[in-house]
Chain A
C-alpha cells in the first residue's frame, strides 16, 4: 500500500524554468526511496513540493490519502543544512515541533531521540557548541520526534566527511527502525543511496523527469565490500551516465583501447 503518492507532477517556476515534468512515484509504507540525478534534475524541487513548501503547477501529491496543499503534519523534512535555531538548546531544538504535546510526553520523546542519535548528554548544549555532524544529527532527531509518516531528506549528509556520514547512516536507520516511516532521500552519493534505499530513482535533468527505478534487495545492514553491493552501485552509476547524456545522441562508440593508441 502506498503512503506517498505522486501523480503527473509538473513544476514551472515563475521565471519560466521547468523544474519537473510529469513525475509520478508511489512509495510504500516503511520504504526508503533514494533519489539520485545530475544537477538540474529537480530533486530538491520535488522534495519541496512534497513538503508543501512550494506548490506544483500540475498534478498532485497525497500522503496517506490526503492531498498536500501546504506543510502537512505527517510530512517531515531534514534540509541540507541543520537549520537549528541558535537561541534554543539542543533539547529545545529537537522538541521544536512538539509544542502541542504535554510536557512529560515531549521530554520523553526528546530524550529518546537524542539517545538514538548518540547525543543523550548534549541536551543542554547550544547548537554552536556542536560539530557539523552532531548538528545534523540534532536536525534528524527534530524531524523524527514529530513521528511523520513520510520523512524527506535533502542531501542531509553532503557537507560531512565520509566517517561522519557512515555513522549518520547508522543513526538514521536506528531511528527509522522505531516507527518505520517512509523515507524519501535525495542524494548525489550513489554509495549512500545503495546503503540506505529499498529503491533508487534515477532522475534525468532539463526538465526533471524519472529516468529509471532500480530496486535494491540487499539485506540490512549492508556491507559495502560485497559483490552484490558493488553490482547495484555500478548499475546505478551506468544509469546515471545514460540519464545525463543529451537526448537523440547515440552513444559514442566505445574504444576501450583508444587511450593506449596514443602511446
Chain B
C-alpha cells in the first residue's frame, strides 16, 4: 500500500482563492460579510425590546462587555497568550516531524511501505482518544497538551509532503540529471521548490487542525487559555463568556492563517503571477 494522494480532503478546502476580478467588491461578498452583522444587530434589537431575555444567548453588547472586562483586567491577554503558545509549540513540533517523516516516506519507497500503513491507521484515531493516554504519559500540564496539538498538525503535513514528493514531475528530475546535480543539489534546486506549494497548503491545513486540537486539550483541563474560558463560562453559567471565547478562537485562527499566507507569499511569486495571467 502506498501513501494515498488524498491530502485533497484536508488541503483542498484551504486552497487560496486569490482571483480578484475588479477593485469593487462583488455585492454578494458585501452581503456575505453583512449577514452575520445584520443577525447580530437583529438579536441585539430583539433583546432590547424585550422579545427575549437573552439569558442563554446573550446579545452582542453583553458579549462585548464581558470580553472588554476580561481585557481590562488583563485576563484575556493571558488566556490568548496561553492558547497561542500551545498552538505555536504544537504546530512547530508537528510541522517539523510531519515534514521530516513525509520527506523520508516520499523519498524511499521501502520506508514508505513499512511505515505508511501504521501512520494511516493512527491517523484514523479521533484526537480526543489520545488525551487519557497522554495525560498518563506526560502529566496534566503543558507537555500533554502540546503533544496532542502536534499529533493533529503532524498528519496533514506528513501526507502533504509525502504525496508531493511522490507526485513530483520525473521529467524535471531528469533535467537535474542532465546537468549532473548531486543528490543534495537535486533536493535543493528541484525537489524543494517543486514541493513547496503543496507543503505550504499542508501547513495551513495543519495549523487549522492545531486550533481544533488546542480546544480539546484545554477543555480536558487547564487553568488558562481560551478553552479554559469556555469551560469556566459553562460552570459559571456565563454564555457571554463562552460566545466571546468562540469569537476569539475564530479571529485568532483566521489571523494565524492569514499570517502564514502572508509570510510564505514571497516563496510562491511564480505561482501567483501564473494565476494572474490565466
How far, in whole Å, are A83 and B171 apart by their CA atoms in the complex? 7
A77, B178: Cβ atoms closer than 8 Å: yes
Residue among B171, B172, B177, B178 making CB contact with A76, cutoff 8 Å: B178
Q: Closest approach, in angstroms, between the C-beta of A61 and any C-beta of chain B?
A: 15
Q: 30 A-B contacts, Cβ less than 8 Å apart?
A: A51-B178, A53-B174, A53-B177, A53-B178, A70-B180, A71-B178, A76-B178, A77-B178, A79-B171, A79-B174, A81-B171, A83-B171, A83-B172, A85-B172, A85-B193, A86-B271, A86-B274, A87-B194, A87-B270, A88-B270, A96-B175, A96-B189, A97-B178, A126-B270, A126-B273, A128-B270, A129-B273, A129-B274, A129-B277, A146-B179
Residue among A51, A70, A86, A146 making CB contact with B270, cutoff 8 Å: A86
Q: Does B100 contact A (CB under 8 A)?
A: no
Secondary structure dominating the interface of A: loop
14 more contacts with CB within 8 A, not counting A76-B178, A83-B172, A87-B270, are A53-B174, A71-B177, A71-B180, A73-B180, A79-B171, A85-B172, A85-B175, A85-B190, A85-B193, A86-B271, A87-B194, A126-B270, A128-B270, A128-B273
Query: How many residues on A have C-beta within 8 angstroms of the other chain's C-beta atoms?
Result: 20
Question: Chain B 180-196, CB within 8 Å of chain A: the 1/0 string?
Answer: 10000000011001101
A97, B179: Cβ atoms closer than 8 Å: yes
A128, B274: Cβ atoms closer than 8 Å: yes
Kindly list the 4 A-B residue pairs having the minimum CB-CB distance in the complex, ordered from nearest: A97-B179, A128-B274, A87-B193, A87-B270
How far, in whole Å, are A70 and B171 apart by their CA atoms in the complex? 17
Chain A positions near chain B (C-beta within 8 angstroms): 51, 53, 70-71, 73, 76-77, 79, 81, 83, 85-88, 96-97, 126, 128-129, 146
How far, in whole Å, are A80 and B178 apart by their CA atoms in the complex? 15
Chain B positions near chain A (C-beta within 8 angstroms): 171-172, 174-175, 177-180, 189-190, 193-194, 196, 270-271, 273-274, 277
How far, in whole Å, are A79 and B176 apart by their CA atoms in the complex? 13
Secondary structure dominating the interface of B: helix
How far, in whole Å, are A76 and B193 apart by their CA atoms in the complex? 23
- Closest-by-CB residue of B relative to A75 is B178
How far, in whole Å, are A88 and B193 apart by their CA atoms in the complex? 9
Q: Closest approach, in angstroms, between the C-beta of A15 and any C-beta of chain B?
A: 18
How far, in whole Å, are A96 and B178 apart by their CA atoms in the complex? 11
Residue among A83, A87, A129 making CB contact with B175, cutoff 8 Å: A83
How far, in whole Å, are A106 and B274 apart by their CA atoms in the complex? 26
How far, in whole Å, are A198 and B86 apart by their CA atoms in the complex? 71
Q: Closest approach, in angstroms, between the C-beta of A1 and any C-beta of chain B?
A: 25
Q: Closest approach, in angstroms, between the C-beta of A82 and any C-beta of chain B?
A: 10
Residue among B172, B175, B274 making CB contact with A126, cutoff 8 Å: B274
- Closest-by-CB residue of A relative to B192 is A87
- Closest-by-CB residue of B relative to A96 is B179
Q: Closest approach, in angstroms, between the C-beta of B175 and any C-beta of chain A?
A: 5
Contacts of A76 in B (CB 8 A): 178
- Closest-by-CB residue of B relative to A78 is B178
Q: Closest approach, in angstroms, between the C-beta of B216 and any C-beta of chain A?
A: 38
Q: Which of A51, A76, A128, A146 has the most CB of B within 10 A?
A: A128
Q: Closest approach, in angstroms, between the C-beta of A129 and any C-beta of chain B?
A: 6
Contacts of A81 in B (CB 8 A): 171
Contacts of A96 in B (CB 8 A): 175, 179, 189
Q: Closest approach, in angstroms, between the C-beta of A130 and any C-beta of chain B?
A: 10
How far, in whole Å, are A129 and B272 apart by their CA atoms in the complex? 12
Contacts of A126 in B (CB 8 A): 270, 273-274
Q: Closest approach, in angstroms, between the C-beta of B173 and any C-beta of chain A?
A: 10
How far, in whole Å, are A86 and B197 apart by their CA atoms in the complex? 12
